[in-house]
Structure 1
Amino acid sequence: MSNKQVEVNIAGQSYRFAIAADNEAALLEAVALVDGQMTRLKGGVSSKGVERVAVMAAISIASDLLSLKRKQQEDGAIPVDAVRARIRELNERADEALRQYAHVGTNSPVPRN
């Protein structure tokens, strides 16, 4: 998969990203979020203060992300890996049950232990 050049504008500054074409929508969504936060925080800050505004925006976004993660944990959300492991375990048990009872409904004699 080849990379695509995407130029975006954040707080009046132009930035160029090389991304996979199928990631463009996610990049543009992230750019809009960062640009929105920086615009909101920037107010009357001079262009020399853009770095400070960028850090403040990053902290604000990170804080929101961490808050969402904490809420997800408090709500008892099950991690995807745990769900996958449980599904794998249930599939293995189902396969074993099918192997043990494969003879049911056939004319084969019932295996005895």
Structure 2
Amino acid sequence: MSNKQVEVNIAGQPYRFAIAPDNEAALLEAVALVDDKMNKLKGTVAAKGVERVAVMAAISIASDLLAMRRKQEEEGAIPVDAVRARIRELNERADEALRQYAHVGTR
């Protein structure tokens, strides 16, 4: 299976990825999460520059992941309902971000 070129925008910056076609949905979900975090941080934090906002978004996402891992270890099982709820929330946020930025790059 050959790689597919996928171009995405994160915080207004274009990025191109070469991925296996069956990984495209996961990539787009990850891009939506990162884009959402970065855009929220840009609007609320006195962060200067895209690189700083990207690092802050990465730390926030990593913190969420680690909290989920700790909870999983404490419960001894995968919190499926929590994961499903989080995925629904992220999908809703991604949809909202896409609606907000649908016009970007079309002018």
State the TM-score, normalizing by the size of structure 1.
0.64
1:16 aligns with 2:2: no
Instruction: State the shift of 1:57 in Å.
Output: 0.1
Q: Secondary structure at the match of 1:43?
A: helix
In structure 1, C-alpha distance between the alignment counterparts of 2:16 and 2:28, rounded to whole Å: 12
Q: Secondary structure at the match of 2:9?
A: strand
Instruction: State the shift of 1:43 in Å.
Output: 1.5
In structure 2, C-alpha distance between the alignment counterparts of 1:77 and 1:45, rounded to whole Å: 35
| Unpaired stretches in structure 1, ≥5 consecutive residues | 79-113
1:38 aligns with 2:43: no
Where in structure 2 are the equivalents of 1:1-113 lying within 5 Å?
1-43=1-43, 49-77=49-77
Residue identity in the other structure for 2:43: G
Residue identity in the other structure for 1:33: L
| CA offsets 1:21-48 (integer angstroms, 9 cap, x no match) | 00000000000000000000012779x6
Q: Which has the higher contact order (CA 8 A, sep 6+)?
A: 2
Instruction: State the shift of 1:76 in Å.
Output: 1.4
Residue identity in the other structure for 2:63: S
Bigger radius of gyration among the two: 1
Residue identity in the other structure for 1:60: S
| Unpaired stretches in structure 2, ≥5 consecutive residues | 79-107
Residues 76, 24 of structure 1: alpha-carbon distance in 2 compared, 3 angstrom cutoff: same
> Across the two proteins, how many residue pairs are aligned to each other?
78
Percent identity between matched residues is 83
RMSD: 2.1
